[in-house]
Amino acid sequence: MAIGFPEGFLFGSATSAYQIEGAAAEDGKRESIWDVFCRVPGAIANGEDGTVACDHYHRHAADVALMAELGLRTYRFSVCWPRVLDGDRVLEAGMDFYSRLVDELLERGVQPWLTLYHWDLPASLPGGWTNRATAERFVDYALTVHDRLGDRVRTWTTLNEPWCSSFLSYAAGVHAPGQTDPVAAVRAAHHLLLAHGWTVQALRAADPSAVLGVTLNFTPALPASDDPADVDVARRVDGTANRFFVEPVFTGHYPADTLADLAPLWPDDLVADGDLAAISAPIDVLGVNYYTTNVFRAGERSAGPTPHISAPDAVQVLRDLPLTDMGWEIDPDGLRNLLLWLHTSYAGPAGTALVVTENGAAFDDRPDPACFVDDQDRIDYLRRHLTAVHQAIEAGADVRGYLAWSLLDNFEWAEGYGKRFGIVAVDAAQRRIPKASALWFRDVARTGAVTKPHETDR
């Protein structure tokens, strides 16, 4: 049986600059914190980096043609800040690259969806996100990019997944810049949110009709049992992983319980008057990135760095669910529940639409001798999650689109190239090979309908 999505529902795909562009030192591009981090011995699996990646910087025209063939209605890409700005100086070649990309997308009928920050911060900014001045620089950067592309790009996302660029990057040390200081992580998180809020205010003033938003990653945290210790540890993880970001954006307050949990780490001088009013500037769309749901029990306090800075005693418990190649449990019901929670608690009352800006799975697939990738496991993942989105819509959530992560097999950060999320494979010769999932998704995008998974396959 087929389930149809509402008229105009946006099917698309997403990538990010560092993960696909390559051309790491071309046309005057300056270094980002990821260029630097990839040189740290042991930071990235197999010592890999984004120097060449998918060579999209040189192959963008063919990549856009492929997007059109795959029926994508929108393409979410990110701009690499140090490709377009060296301090205050505009790097014209880098800016031209994005301008051409936008033109090509529009010529092919694919709506450009621009993310300003997907983690490749200029390495030259002192203190990175621990420094409040970085948030000020971000607004200048955003306005400069908008000045060049705002006549053609209508949808602007400030940040992608600030949890990753704060707690995972400054507390767990897993992502650039690789720090393991929980206080630095709290500073980074607040400054990222501030950069978001100030930028929404500035872009709104410059371009009142633009569609503005932020993309947050949500990993729902559930207790392993009703033991109060398990319930409390799941609450604390949920506080920093999810509510720390969505709550101030919609309510202008950090969650009270999370503030209490973080009190020993919270710098007195962090929040200035007006910060939370800026952070809660109204947005038009909340981007929702969902991959999995985690279950936690309370265990021994871990000694090593962790992104769960208020829950070092959190121990993840695996359920009896299939895993992706990242070791992430496949839990589509978690996406339905998440969308309903976000709609009911935050986005709905604010009149803000939801779009799933990332969802997808890594599987260990490679082209067969006939140069085809029959990734039925990914089709199954996408189908189940799209079905969950449809269920959320039926239950009243205002979800306007779904963007598959990712268009291409690409650089999966600390995991290097070993984890393949693409619906299109990229081989060593940089050939693009649409997988079975890309052809399946093309049909979904063209018909606006998905066949339901068989109940027996669940």
Binding mask 411-440 for ligand IFM (x = CB under 6 A): -x--------x-------------------
Residue 104 interacts with ligand IFM (CB under 6 A): yes or no: no
**β-pair partners for 377:** none
Angle (nearest 5°) at CA 296 between 291 and 300: 135
Residue number with CB closer to ligand IFM (262 or 362): 362
Residue 21 interacts with ligand IFM (CB under 6 A): yes or no: no
Residue 78 interacts with ligand IFM (CB under 6 A): yes or no: no
Annotate 431-443 with b (16+ C-beta within 10 A) or e (fewer): ebbbbbbbebbbe
Residue number with CB closer to ligand IFM (16 or 158): 16
CA dihedral (174, 180, 186, 192) positive or negative: negative
Active centre residues (catalytic): 161, 358
Residues 153-172 that bind ligand IFM (CB under 6 A): 161
Distance CA 83, CA 94 (A): 5
Task: Tell me the site size for ligand IFM, rule CB under 6 A.
Answer: 8
Residue 179 interacts with ligand IFM (CB under 6 A): yes or no: no
Residue 134's nearest CA partner among 166, 96, 164, 163 is 166
Shortest CB 174 distance to ligand IFM, Å: 11
Q: Is the peptide bond before 322 cis (omega within 30 degrees of 0)?
A: no
Phi-psi category of residue 317: left, alpha or beta, with phi > 0 → left and psi -120 to 50 → alpha = beta
Shortest CB 15 distance to ligand IFM, Å: 8
Residue number with CB closer to ligand IFM (161 or 238): 161
Distance of CA 394 to the CA centre of its chain: 25
Residue number with CB closer to ligand IFM (223 or 307): 307
Helices (H), 109-171: 132-149, 162-163
Helices (H), 150-255: 162-163, 182-206, 228-238, 244-251
Shortest CB 360 distance to ligand IFM, Å: 7
Residue 375 interacts with ligand IFM (CB under 6 A): yes or no: no
Exactly one of 289, 310, 352, 359 binds ligand IFM (CB under 6 A); that residue is 289
Exactly one of 5, 9, 10, 16 binds ligand IFM (CB under 6 A); that residue is 16
Residue 120 interacts with ligand IFM (CB under 6 A): yes or no: no
Shortest CB 50 distance to ligand IFM, Å: 11
Shortest CB 456 distance to ligand IFM, Å: 30
Three-state helix/strand/coil letters over 304-357: CCCCCCCCCCEEECCCCCCECCCCCECCHHHHHHHHHHHHHHHHHHHCCEEEEE
Residue 405 interacts with ligand IFM (CB under 6 A): yes or no: yes
How many Cβ atoms from other residues are within 10 Å of residue 2's Cβ? 10
- Interaction site with ligand IFM (CB under 6 A): 16, 19, 161, 289, 358, 405, 412, 421
